[in-house]
Structure 1
Amino acid sequence: MIYVIGLDVSMNSTGWAVIGVEADRLHLIDSGVIKANDKLPYGKRLRNQRTKFQEIIEKYPTKYVAREAGFQRHIKATQVLFRAYGVTEEFFADIDLVEYASGTIKKIVTGNGKATKEEVEKAIRETLNLPKTFKFTTNDESDAVGIAITHIKKLKIQKGV
């Protein structure tokens, strides 16, 4: 089985997902959110993310990692966000880390680059045959799953996973 990690990176609530690829079938192996106490200094929050990343790759030997590309809205928020991006860049330096724009993720997962969060989640559920009772804890978690699926589908087009 090939493991692919999807990350929806933020300073306070990083979504993550591990998708397994086996014989052209996709399986949601594990997923969650790395929550941070926003009262802690940035360094401690970033170390918490790094520690969780280590736990994930120790449990699931990962071949690929994908994250949503950063964006700019407000300079202060963007500067804080890119600290978290720096941690992922450094931590996954030896793994094939790629980025996808949100429109690309929506297009690959749903066929519509302007899909709503609900449409993306519906497409994820169908792709992975998730039971109706399965609930994502946050949009960050479901976004991370969509990012991993995007990378897997891109790899099939480019490399034939």
Structure 2
Amino acid sequence: MTRILAFDTSMSSPGAALVEIRRVNARIIDVSHVTTVSSQPHGLRAEIVEAWATLFIAKHGAKFDEILREDFVGRTSRQNHPVFSAWGAIDQALNKFGLNFTHPAISQSKVKRLVVGNGKAEKSDVERAVRELTGYTGEFATDDCSDAAAVALAWAIEKGLIKEGDF
């Protein structure tokens, strides 16, 4: 069994997913997100993200085999600053438990290509593929939750733990 904690990181609405792989079957254990308000200072928003991530990690006993995140490449510092502040907040949450990301961030296009079969897939395609690969019937409150699950699934597909999506 492999327990994968994955994040789709942003400052406005980061998502997290805990996915368990047993043999060749993937199952979503839990998903979560938090929403911050753009009128709040970045420092406060980062603290909210850190608190949310800390609670999610603690809820699941801080026991994960792999910890992953989706990559982000912004064109300007105005785009990069909020996302990298959120990255730092999640890093801080992980560090409280002596944890760290176990692999480099995975690009959005690679996640989509591995999970959906198309590097330019739409959010609805990603959600559908995640549901097909996991049998998940629960609610995804935001795209960020299904995107986080897709990050975990992309890594599992790349490592040969489950089969690539073909939807």
Closer/same/farther in 2, CA of residues 59 and 2 from structure 1, 3 Å limit: farther
Aligned residues: 155
Bigger shift: residues 47-56 or 103-112: 47-56
Residue in 1 that maps onto 2:50: 50
- In terms of fraction of residues, the more strand-rich structure is 1
Residue in 2 that maps onto 1:86: 88
The structural deviation recorded for 1:75 is 2.8
Aligned residue identity for 2:83 = L
The structural deviation recorded for 1:48 is 1.9
Q: Which runs of 5+ in 1 are unaligned?
A: none
The residue matched to 1:103 in structure 2 has which SS? helix
Residue in 1 that maps onto 2:148: 144
Residue identity over aligned pairs, in percent, reads: 26
Residue in 2 that maps onto 1:21: 21
RMSD: 2.0
1:36-94 superposed Cα distances (whole Å, 9 cap, x missing partner)? 23333222221222222222222222221111111113431222221112223444463
Aligned residue identity for 1:11 = M
How far apart are the structure 2 equivalents of 1:8 and 1:78?
Answer: 15
Q: Is the 8 A contact 2:51 2:93 kept in 1?
A: no
How far apart are the structure 1 equivalents of 2:46 and 2:153?
Answer: 25
Residue in 2 that maps onto 1:34: 34
The structural deviation recorded for 1:97 is 4.2
TM-score by length of 2: 0.81
How far apart are the structure 2 equivalents of 1:78 and 1:8?
Answer: 15
TM-score by length of 1: 0.84
Q: Which runs of 5+ in 2 are unaligned?
A: 162-167
The structural deviation recorded for 1:150 is 0.9
Residue in 2 that maps onto 1:5: 5
